[in-house]
Structure 1
Amino acid sequence: MQAVILAGGKSSRMGQDKASMILGGKTVIQHVIDNLLFVFEEIFISGNHNNYPISKGIIKDVTTQKGPIGGIRSALEFCQEDIFVCSCDMPFVSSDLIKNILQKKIENRINVVRFGEKLYPVLGIYPFSILTDLKKTIESGNLRMISFLEQQNAHYIDLEDSFEHQLLNINTPENFRNAEIIFNNNL
């Protein structure tokens, strides 16, 4: 299984490239890379930017402007195997959380995190076997991740409260301020 960081978004709510913002002396995406390297030997980045830190390689989008579902499709086509995905704006996902997901996965199904009633489709495992269905869904124009998860009977991995802060997505300036508080409190 390959690890893939989804970094193809426009960061429109942030107003700047959120993956390149500095948190605790390094970029947000570098935090994600470092955390994934505790579990995976190789990390790929799915997106159309070339200025990201060194990883195994950049996976260009097969079709642009398709959101996370398009990045996952591109990654599956590139890797030709099951992938573990994490969004570029989730710097607190720990190796313990990743291992928890891997231990609770159901083979040959999409496995994504759920905390309370909220789903995290950009944190989990996507099996290579869904690629054909994923392509058809994108071609039909339905880019909603939740719809695809329901259609595929995805397995939701419920997490304990201790993991809550690790699920912070940095999408807005307010999210980034919260991330700085979390980072400084964990020094």
Structure 2
Amino acid sequence: MSFASTSIQSSSLLFSTRSSSSFKKTTNPKSSARRSSLKVSASAEADAAKIKVTDVKETLGRGFILVDIRSPEEVAETGSKFSWEKIPIAAMDDEGNPMSNPNFLALIKNKFPNSMSRILLACDDGTFRSELAHKLITQKLGYSQVKIIEGGIDAYIEFQPLTKEDKIKVRMVAQAGNDLSMLVSGVDTRQAGQKLY
């Protein structure tokens, strides 16, 4: 998967924040208070959306799909299950600088076209990137069924280590079987003596 070619420093990636003093200089106290209350409410929403690693299996059983938002390098380092959707929110360039994935929301929207889709987010430690992805998906796309694994993939793999079978993608193979045309229509439409397989 290719990312934008422009490199963004970690302080200015999606991780940038202004100091509270710069808000005070450029805005009035009422709007500054509103901004801080919005930050607190977004953080509170992300905290409320967190689930424990012991509840991941049950959550997946209720129809949630785990979306691994780690960089491809992190995924290669620890491994992942074939059933996890891998949509990185950011990655590292050749010099080791973080760069955002400008297609993150478009990829989420493409994979999960319904705003009621059940998404379980996980980064390495379940903190900043997961909270940022939760905020973007819920606020920009309006999705309502988005959860975060508390402790991230690292905690989940520690609790439930990956096995060799987890990494194998099961493929269905086309196999010849019985002709079911008579069951479907109730009348055998084959000509006498014709062999179909």
TM-score (norm 1): 0.30
Whichever structure has more strand as a proportion of its residues is: 1
TM-score (norm 2): 0.28
